[in-house]
Structure 1
Amino acid sequence: MKTTAATLFYGVPSGCSFGSIVALEWLGQPYRLSRIEMPEMVTGDAYRRINPVAETPSLLTDGGQVISESFAILNHIGARDIDKGIGFAQGTAQFDRLNQILGFLNTTFFNAFAPLWHVLEHGSDDNEAAVLREYGRAKVLRAHALLEAMLGDQPWLLGEHKTVADAYFAGIARWTKYHDVIDRRDYPNLQRLYDKLQADPAVVFAHAIEQQQRAVSAGGFLGEIGMEQAMGWLPQAA
C-alpha cells in the first residue's frame, strides 16, 4: 500500500537508528517517525510484524515496502536524491567507497561495543564482566584507531562532503558515554568530526527527538505517529 511519506521506526534510548534520522533530515524529503522503546516494544509481537528480527531501525517506504538494517536504510536514503551528495549511484567509485566505510562502521565499529553492551544490559558475575569489559575495551580501541587513520585530515569520512556514513557515525560514536573505556580526545581526527556533527542542525534535531524535546526540522519531518497507525500501511495489512 502506498503511503504519503516514508516512516522510520527508531529505537530509544540511543539506538543506532539515530543516524537514519540525521540522514532523512539531510535528504529533505517528507518523512515521519515512529518511536520504539527498547527493549519493551522492539521485542513485542506487534513490532515483529514490521521487523521479525526485532531490531531498529526499520523504514516503511512511501511505496509501502519495509527495509531493515541501517546499512540498507542509509543506502536507500542516499539514493533517493543523488544530487544531494549524501549517497552515490551504484556502480560508481564513490558508491563502492561509501559501502566500504558503511561496512566498517556496521561491523568493526558497531560490534566493538557488543561485549560492553552485554555487561551493561544483561549483567554478569564479576569475573565474566571483567573479561568482557577488557575484551570490549580492546575492540573499541582498535576500531577507533583504525577509523582515526581512515579519516585523517579529511573534513568528512568520504572526503570533502558529508554522506550517510557520517550520519551513521554520529549515532554510534556517542556510545562511549555509556562505556568509560576510551577518551575520544586521544583520537583528534574523530573528535573533530564528532564535534562538527554535534553542531549540525540535523544531529541537534535527532537528539531533541530522542529526548522528546522541542525539535526544529530543517528537512521534511511531518511529525511522529504511533506504531499501530504505521502498521496500517504494511503490505500484509493492505
Structure 2
Amino acid sequence: MSPILYYGVPSGCSFGAIVALEWSGQPYRLARVNMPDDMQTDAFAAINPVRETPALATARGDVLAESIAILNHIGALPGTLEAGLSFAQGTREFDQLNRMLAFLNTTFFNSFASLWWLLEHESDDDTRRALTEYGRARVVRAHQELERMLGDKPWLLGQRRTLADAYFIGIARWTKYHSVVDRRDYPNLQRLFDQLEADPAVSFAHAIEQQRPTTSAGRFEGEIGIAESLAARRAA
C-alpha cells in the first residue's frame, strides 16, 4: 500500500508533511482529519491514540505519529536523499537538519501555544491580556532566532531546500491567525516565506486543505476517508 498521511484542518502543522511528500516524488495518499471533531472518534483513536495530527500509515503497515518522526521517515524514502531533502544519519548535515527540525518543533511551534489556547477557549480580559503578551514575546523571540539562523542563505540549511523548509512553511503561516508580529520586520524569513509560497507543492497543499481543484506536482494518489483507510489496512 502507498503511505497514507492523516492531515489536520484547518491549518494543521501536517501541512509540512504534505509538502515533503510532494517533494519526495514518492506515491502517497491523504486522509482528511477535521479538527477537533474527527480526532475524538474511535476510528481516529485506532490510528493515533493520542488523538493528534499528523499521523502516517507507512507502506509497510506501521503507523507513525509526531511531525519529526514522520518527516524523518519521508527523508529516508528512496530518492529523497538523492534530492537533497534529507541526509544520511550520522553525517554532519543530518545533525544540522535534525537540530533545525527540533527548533521548529519546539521553540517555533510552541511559541504560538498560548495564542492558540486563547483562540479556542473563552477567557476573561485579564487572562486574555496576559496570555497575549506572553505569546507575543515568545513568537517575537522565535522569529528573531530563526531570522538569525537563516541569515542570507536561500534555504534554512543552505543552498538546497530540505524537510526543514517544508515544516517551516506550515507553521509560519499561523501569523495570519495571530497578529503579534509583522514578518516584514524579519526580511530573511519574509524572503523564505515568499519563496515557499510560490512553490507548486505548497500551492498544492493549500488547495488540498481548502478543497479546491488542484494538480499534484508529485505522485499523489488521491484522498481516502478515515474509516475507509482502516478497512484498507485491515484488508492488506
Which deviations, in whole Å up to 9, do the C-alpha atoms of 1:34-85 show, x marking residues without a partner?
A: 0000000012221011001111000001111101100110111011131111
1:97 is aligned to 2:70: no
Provide the C-alpha distance between the structure 1 equivalents of 2:32 and 2:176, rounded to a whole number of angstroms.
Answer: 22
Q: Does structure 2 retain, via aligned residues, the 8 Å contact 1:64–1:233? A: no
1:6 is aligned to 2:3: yes
What's the TM-score once normalised by structure 2's chain length?
A: 0.97
Give the match for residue 192 of structure 1. Answer: 191
Give the match for residue 57 of structure 1. Answer: 54
Provide the C-alpha distance between the structure 1 equivalents of 2:76 and 2:88, rounded to a whole number of angstroms.
Answer: 7
Provide the C-alpha distance between the structure 2 equivalents of 1:176 and 1:223, rounded to a whole number of angstroms.
Answer: 30
Tell me the SS of whatever aligns to 2:4: strand
Give the match for residue 86 of structure 1. Answer: 85
Tell me the SS of whatever aligns to 1:83: coil
Identity %: 65
Q: Does structure 2 retain, via aligned residues, the 8 Å contact 1:152–1:189? A: yes
1:71 is aligned to 2:68: yes
Q: Does structure 2 retain, via aligned residues, the 8 Å contact 1:137–1:181? A: yes
Output aligned runs, 1:118-129, within 5 Å: 118-129=117-128
Deviation at 1:162, TM superposition (A): 0.2
Tell me the SS of whatever aligns to 1:232: helix
Output aligned runs, 1:126-165, within 5 Å: 126-165=125-164
What is the root-mean-square deviation in Å for CA atoms of aligned residues? 1.0
Provide the C-alpha distance between the structure 2 equivalents of 1:155 and 1:76, rounded to a whole number of angstroms.
Answer: 25
Output aligned runs, 1:221-232, within 5 Å: 221-232=220-231
Output aligned runs, 1:211-226, within 5 Å: 211-226=210-225
Q: Does structure 2 retain, via aligned residues, the 8 Å contact 1:33–1:225? A: yes
Tell me the SS of whatever aligns to 2:30: strand
Deviation at 1:234, TM superposition (A): 4.2
Q: Does structure 2 retain, via aligned residues, the 8 Å contact 1:65–1:234? A: no
Give the match for residue 171 of structure 1. Answer: 170
Give the match for residue 40 of structure 2. Answer: 43
Provide the C-alpha distance between the structure 2 equivalents of 1:228 and 1:154, rounded to a whole number of angstroms.
Answer: 44
Tell me which amino acid in the other structure corresponds to 1:66: V
Tell me the SS of whatever aligns to 1:11: strand
Provide the C-alpha distance between the structure 1 equivalents of 2:221 and 2:157, rounded to a whole number of angstroms.
Answer: 30
Count how many residue pairs are aligned between Structure 1 and Structure 2: 234
Which deviations, in whole Å up to 9, do the C-alpha atoms of 1:174-217 show, x marking residues without a partner?
A: 00000010100000000000000000000000000000001110
191-200 or 42-51: bigger deviation: 42-51
Tell me which amino acid in the other structure corresponds to 2:192: L
